[in-house]
Structure 1
Amino acid sequence: MKEWAKHFYKSKAWRQCRDAYFAFKHGLCERCSAPGKIVHHKIWLTPENINDPNISLNWEYLELLCQDCHNKEHHEKYSETRYDVMFDENGDLVKACPPVSQFGMTG
């Protein structure tokens, strides 16, 4: 957990919101119907929006997920191999010119 988020996630307001949402969804993952574990924020919380209850405590922006679906949400989205971009000599992400195929050939 990020340091700036600790106060929010330990707050009574979040615990009550999370617990009520969990019960409302009958404890089931909204994606696969497995037992839910994590009340996920659809809008990622940032230092700028975490104290805005219209975002951080709004049920429209919450989703009950099981551990597997939560892991997919946060990890698999960003683990797909991309062939249209590459890192330059400074470590910056740039477009691959010409694009490199998954087989290492230009095309």
Structure 2
Amino acid sequence: MKDYARKFYKSAAWRKCRDAYFLSQHGLCERCSDPGLIVHHKIYISPENINDPSITLNPKNLELLCQTCHNQEHHGKSEVVRNGLRFDENGNLISI
């Protein structure tokens, strides 16, 4: 987690928003319908928008994702995440 976001993600406002959004999606990933795990910001949080609740706490900017779909969102199909490792098309970490 980025240092600038740490305080936000520990805030009561985020926890309340995250939990309400999770329930509104019945706990299911919005992309594949597997059990959801991560409430993801469609517009990524940045130092410039971290204090803008229309970005950080807006349900229209949120998406419930499972770990695999979240990995695909952030790491794509072929991005090398560590020397000799990348995510495959299913979001699984594989050796290359």
TM-score (norm 1): 0.72
Q: Which amino acid in 1 is paired with 2:46?
A: T
Structure 2 unaligned runs (5+)? 81-96
Q: Aligned-pair RMSD on alpha carbons?
A: 1.4
1:45-89 per-residue CA deviation (whole Å, 9 max, x = no partner) reads: 101101100010000010000000000000016629xxxxxxxxx
1:2-22 per-residue CA deviation (whole Å, 9 max, x = no partner) reads: 111011000000000000000
Distance in 1 (alpha carbons) for counterparts of 2:44 and 2:37: 18
Distance in 1 (alpha carbons) for counterparts of 2:78 and 2:56: 23
**Structure label with greater radius of gyration:** 1
Distance in 1 (alpha carbons) for counterparts of 2:8 and 2:40: 14
Question: Which structure has more RCO (C-alpha within 8 Å, separation ≥ 6)?
Answer: 2
- Is 1:3 matched with 2:3? yes
The residue aligned with 1:90 is none
TM-score (norm 2): 0.80
The residue aligned with 2:62 is 62
Identity of aligned pairs, percent?
69
Q: Which runs of 4+ in 1 moved over 6 A?
A: none
